[in-house]
Structure 1
Amino acid sequence: MYRSLILRIGNAIALNAVGLMKACFVLAPIFFITGCHTENSESASKRAASTKTDSHRNGASPEIAGATKEPNPESKTQPSTSQVDKEETPEIDVFTLHNDAAVALQADDHDKAYQLARQAMRIAPSDPTSVFLMARVLGRRNRFPEAIQMLDKLALTTPDARLPVLGQTAQWMVQFGMWKEAEQRFQTLLQEAPDATLVHRKLAELFVRQGRASEATEHLKTLCRLGDIEEIELRHLLAGGQPLHGDTSLDELSPIGHRGKAMYAISREEWELARTELEALESRSAETLSILGRVYVHLDDNDSLNNWREEATQSELPDSESSFPKGAILAGQETHATAVRLLCKAVLFDQTDSDAYRLLSHSLLAVDRPNESKDAAKRFKLISETKRIGREMSLTEDRDDSKFQSLIDSLDELQRPWESLHWSSVRLAYAKTNNSLTENELDRLASQIKERSIKLNSEGWIPDRQFVTCGIDLDSLEQTDSPIDTLPRK
Structure 2
Amino acid sequence: MIDLPQVAYGERRSRLVGKLLLLVSTIVLAGCGCSKSEQQRTTSSRSGSVPKSAESDVTSRESLKRSTVDPSLEKLAEPTPSELEDRVGELLSEARYAEAEKLNRSLLLLSPDSPTLLFLAARIAHGKGETDEAISYLRAIPPNHPEAGLPALGQLADWLQEVGRLEEAEATYVEMIRRFGDLAPVHRRLAVLLNSQGRRVEATRHVEALIRLGDVTEKELLSMTTLSVPYHDGEPGALMSGSADDFNGETLTLKELARAKRLFVQDELVEAEKLIKKLRMAFPDSASVAAFEGRVYEARQSNEDLWKWSASLPQDIEKEAEYWTAIGQWSLRLKRSAAAIRAFGEAVQIDPTDRVAYLRMAEALAMEGELEAAERVLQRKESLDEAWQMAMNVGLNRETRRGDLKRLVEPTRKARPKLGGSLLANDLGI
Same fold (TM over 0.5): yes
Give the distance between the partners of 1:383 and 1:165, measured in 2 at CA: 42
Q: CA deviation at 1:207?
A: 2.1
SS at match of 2:311: helix
Maintained 8 Å contact 1:401/1:427? no
- What number of residue pairs does the alignment pair up? 345
Maintained 8 Å contact 2:197/2:258? yes
Q: CA deviation at 1:377?
A: 1.1
Please state if 1:355 is matched with 2:353: no
Counting only pairs closer than 5 Å after superposition, residues 47-62 of structure 1 correspond to structure 2 as none
Give the distance between the partners of 2:392 and 2:123, measured in 1 at CA: 37
Q: CA deviation at 1:182?
A: 2.3
Q: CA deviation at 1:411?
A: 1.2
Q: CA deviation at 1:400?
A: 1.9
Please state if 1:369 is matched with 2:370: yes
> Structure 2 vs 1, CA of residues 361 and 242 (structure 1 numbering), >3 Å: closer, same or farther?
closer
- Counterpart residue number, 2:260: 262
Instruction: Find the partner of 1:131 among 118, 123, 131.
Output: 118
- Counterpart residue number, 1:275: 273
Amino acid in the other structure paired with 1:309 = L
Give the distance between the partners of 1:99 and 1:420, measured in 2 at CA: 51
Q: CA deviation at 1:399?
A: 8.4
Maintained 8 Å contact 1:247/1:253? no
Give the distance between the partners of 1:82 and 1:267, measured in 2 at CA: 84
> Structure 2 vs 1, CA of residues 340 and 131 (structure 1 numbering), >3 Å: closer, same or farther?
closer
Instruction: Find the partner of 1:215 among 202, 215, 225.
Output: 202
Amino acid in the other structure paired with 2:324 = S
Instruction: Find the partner of 1:311 among 308, 316, 336.
Output: 308
Which protein has the larger Cα radius of gyration, Structure 1 or Structure 2? 2
SS at match of 2:216: strand
Instruction: Find the partner of 1:80 among 66, 76, 79.
Output: 66
- Counterpart residue number, 1:341: 342
Q: CA deviation at 1:160?
A: 6.3
1:100-130 deviation digits (Å, cap 9, x = unpaired): 876898xxx4526886686566567524323
For structure 2, the 5+ residue unaligned runs are: 1-63, 242-252
- Counterpart residue number, 2:290: 289
**Per chain length, whose mean CA-contact separation is higher, i.e. which structure has more relative contact order (CA < 8 Å, sep 6+)?**
1
Give the distance between the partners of 2:220 and 2:144, measured in 1 at CA: 37
Deviates more, 1:146-155 or 1:368-377: 146-155
SS at match of 2:140: helix
Counting only pairs closer than 5 Å after superposition, residues 178-257 of structure 1 correspond to structure 2 as 178-240=165-227, 243-244=230-231, 247=234, 249=236, 256-257=254-255
Give the distance between the partners of 1:320 and 1:181, measured in 2 at CA: 21
Instruction: Find the partner of 1:145 among 114, 132, 135.
Output: 132
Give the RMSD, CA atoms, in angstroms: 4.2
1:123-150 deviation digits (Å, cap 9, x = unpaired): 6752432332342344355432222222
Amino acid in the other structure paired with 2:207 = L
> Structure 2 vs 1, CA of residues 415 and 187 (structure 1 numbering), >3 Å: closer, same or farther?
closer
- Counterpart residue number, 2:404: 403
SS at match of 2:335: coil
> Structure 2 vs 1, CA of residues 266 and 424 (structure 1 numbering), >3 Å: closer, same or farther?
farther
SS at match of 1:111: coil
Give the distance between the partners of 1:262 and 1:352, measured in 2 at CA: 20
Give the distance between the partners of 2:387 and 2:69, measured in 1 at CA: 76
> Structure 2 vs 1, CA of residues 336 and 132 (structure 1 numbering), >3 Å: closer, same or farther?
same
Give the distance between the partners of 1:248 and 1:294, measured in 2 at CA: 26
Deviates more, 1:313-322 or 1:81-90: 81-90
Maintained 8 Å contact 1:320/1:346? no
Maintained 8 Å contact 2:157/2:170? yes
Maintained 8 Å contact 1:245/1:395? no
Counting only pairs closer than 5 Å after superposition, residues 145-164 of structure 1 correspond to structure 2 as 145-155=132-142, 161-164=148-151
1:311-369 deviation digits (Å, cap 9, x = unpaired): 24423675553221221123233332332222111111211111000111222223232
Maintained 8 Å contact 1:151/1:169? yes
Q: CA deviation at 1:378?
A: 1.6
1:223-256 deviation digits (Å, cap 9, x = unpaired): 3333333344334433327643775527699973
For structure 1, the 5+ residue unaligned runs are: 1-77, 429-444, 446-490
Amino acid in the other structure paired with 2:334 = Q
Maintained 8 Å contact 2:216/2:427? no
Amino acid in the other structure paired with 1:314 = A
> Structure 2 vs 1, CA of residues 246 and 233 (structure 1 numbering), >3 Å: closer, same or farther?
closer
Q: CA deviation at 1:376?
A: 1.1
- TM-score when normalising by structure 1: 0.58
- TM-score when normalising by structure 2: 0.65
Maintained 8 Å contact 1:358/1:380? yes
SS at match of 1:229: coil
Maintained 8 Å contact 1:167/1:186? yes
Amino acid in the other structure paired with 2:386 = E
Please state if 1:111 is matched with 2:95: yes
